[in-house]
Amino acid sequence: MDVHDSNNIIAERVRLCLTSFPAKFRDVNESGELQNVLTTTRNLSGPRVQQSPEDFTEQYLIEPVLHGLGFFNPTSEKYDGQKPHFVRRPTTFSKIEPKQPDYLLKNVSDRLICILEAKAANREQLSGSKREATSDIEGYLESDTFCKYLLERESRYLVGLGTDGLRWTLWWKNLSTGEVFRECPTVDLSPLIKSLARTDSVIAGEPTHSNPEIRKLLREEFVPYFAAENLPEHVAD
């Protein structure tokens, strides 16, 4: 299977996973809250979705997207102990690692240490002061978070993903030289999620993207950088 075919399969998997977010708003009868999240910069309301905003976003958007990208939930029946997977709330001795990201992405590559910082939906905008995930990722890279236990750091990279589920940003640091690569890239999935929500009649309006168009955009603009199988080559390129 060539890269195009593989990325197309991953893109379709991510597209399907994205539908779980609007579907949950329909389940809790809060289509109006989804409309607000997707059309304004207002923060997601916990009382309306009956859960803390960050937990809701992680459970119904971020973790499904990670699964689509090839990062397994360790509790999944398909996880064999060797595949790329995510670890929630990773921790180690606080004196060694005072900063603790929301996720550790494991078994991606021997060359990479991958962390992910998650925020509630709409806590990460493309511009302005509301860039909470980006701010945290920048701090993690500056302090070499989860890298202090390494005895040998040659040819290793610290990779930081920041997201509120709607917007995803990718940073990495060469641990040998200290060079930091910022926002390579940043991708906004909210227009695609809005189209999926409209297609499934969760919110009002006509979708601006068809399902094949959504798959194409994911294949070209998201999967080549964030998928588990593509991340090592992208970072080291």
- Please write the tens of the pLDDT for every residue from 128-184: 777 889 899 999 999 887 776 554 444 589 999 999 999 999 999 998 899 999 999
Q: How high is the pLDDT of residue 98?
A: 59
Q: How high is the pLDDT of residue 54?
A: 97
Cα separation, 177 vs 180, in Å, equals 9
**Can you give the pTM of this predicted structure?**
0.93
Reported confidence tier of residue 94, pLDDT bands at 50, 70, 90? low
DSSP type of residue 8: H
Q: Comparing C-alpha atoms, which of 117, 126, 125, 114 is closest to residue 234?
A: 114
Structure-model confidence comparison of residues 3 and 88, the more confident one: 88
Cα 122 to Cα 44, 104, 212, distances in angstroms:
7, 22, 26
Cα separation, 131 vs 147, in Å, equals 24
- Please write the tens of the pLDDT for every residue from 15-25: 999 999 999 99
Reported confidence tier of residue 90, pLDDT bands at 50, 70, 90? confident
For residue 93, is pLDDT > 80? Answer: no
Q: How high is the pLDDT of residue 150?
A: 52
DSSP-derived pairing of the beta strands 157-163 and 112-118: parallel
E strand intervals along 81-235 = 85-88, 103-106, 112-118, 157-163, 167-174, 180-181, 186-188
- Please write the tens of the pLDDT for every residue from 18-59: 999 999 999 999 999 999 999 999 999 999 999 999 999 999
Q: How high is the pLDDT of residue 125?
A: 87
- Which range marks the domain in which residue 190 is found? 3-236
Token pair for 59: 């459970």
Q: How high is the pLDDT of residue 1?
A: 66
Q: How high is the pLDDT of residue 151?
A: 43
How many domains, the chain? Answer: 1
User: For the chain, what is the mean pLDDT?
Assistant: 91
Helix 211-221 to helix 3-18 angle (10° resolution) is 120
Structure-model confidence comparison of residues 134 and 201, the more confident one: 201
- 181-210 mean pLDDT: 97
